[in-house]
Structure 1
Amino acid sequence: MLESYLTGLIVCGGIIVAIGAQNAYVLSQAIRREHHWWSAGLCMTSDVLLFSLGMFGVSAALMAMPQALVVLRWLGVVFLGWLTIQAFYRVFKGRASLEARDTASTTLKGVLFTTLAVTLLNPQVYLDTLLLVPAIGAQQTDSTTFLAGASSASIFWFGLLAWGGSKLAPWLATPTAWRAIDGVIGLMMAAIAVQLAVAGI
């Protein structure tokens, strides 16, 4: 039982860390302290639900509809491209000149929508949570404990991002640091979008 839990924790922890778009967005919200716990909580909930669905056989339905992944692929490319443009625009304009407008436009609804889009418009998320994780879980002696380990990995990781980012905020609240953060986020989003467009899934 413990072995299954640790397998889920380690394997799924590695998968979650590798999904860059989610991580970059949650971390950026945490550093800005803009509804970051809501964003992290939504990522945790989404992962737990997707892991559970995968373990209960939704992977078979996904395999039967490969065209759905193609649609998600290009929606993901467009959305990540838009996030890239926004990040580089902030780099160009500077955080100070955008502060008042950003404060007015950064609503909880907007943050939750973007978090959901970054999560669900990435086809790699479905391949990992609905196909790869169930395939590994099926080989465990206790699939329920494996699922608990996988869910724990998501909760620990996104909790760490939300907490760590907010703790770093006082040291990163300078115009130069903001430009660097937005530049890194922009580059990460662009790289993921290009990878999806060129290499597919």
Structure 2
Amino acid sequence: MRTVRRAGDGGLLVQTATLDEAHRLHRALLDAAIPGVSDIVPGERTVLVVADPDACDLDRLASRVAELEAGAAEAEGAPPVEIPVRYDGADLAEVAELAGLTVREVVDRHASVEYSAAYLGFSPGFGYLTGLDEALHVPRRTTPRTSVPAGSVAIAGAYTAVYPSPSPGGWRLLGRTSLTMWDVRRDPPSLLRPGLRVRFVPEWMP
């Protein structure tokens, strides 16, 4: 079941029951290519539809979105993205202590799961990945770092992610990858997109 609400003068926020439905609705809206719609932004259980109110009747758009049949997700059937990781992160030992595990157990649990890219946010190419082992649901750092290197593999709460570019950040660092997560010369620029499956492959571990 979907709930459609107005979001400002030119937007609709669609709430869905599940993450999978949000991904499927996102794909259906892209395929529909509705005139007047300028952007479609998927979230974990939401899809923001941005439209020009002068070119699109938002009430009619809301009715159409509410009834639109969701098809296959954009990334459905695509092979998992494999991200090689050198597990030498600055917070690895602290995560092990918080979780009551050994460092090796933290690495094993992080690398043994297949994740799903729920949505992108925070910075271009930053994918919030769901599926993290509950034992690794640790809080963010009390004091964020002023700069986290690009390629840093990190966890916070129920998510894991890779920092696509240098930026401040409070997530706990488990390791690093040599993959480029965001490249404006690539089409699309982001290595990840909503719905893609992701696996972390250890290339070094303590």
Coarse TM-score class (shorter-chain normalised): under 0.3
- Greater helix proportion: 1
- Greater strand proportion: 2
Query: Which protein has the larger Cα radius of gyration, Structure 1 or Structure 2?
Result: 2
Q: Which fold has the larger relative contact order, with Cα–Cα distance below 8 Å and residues 6 or more apart in sequence? A: 1
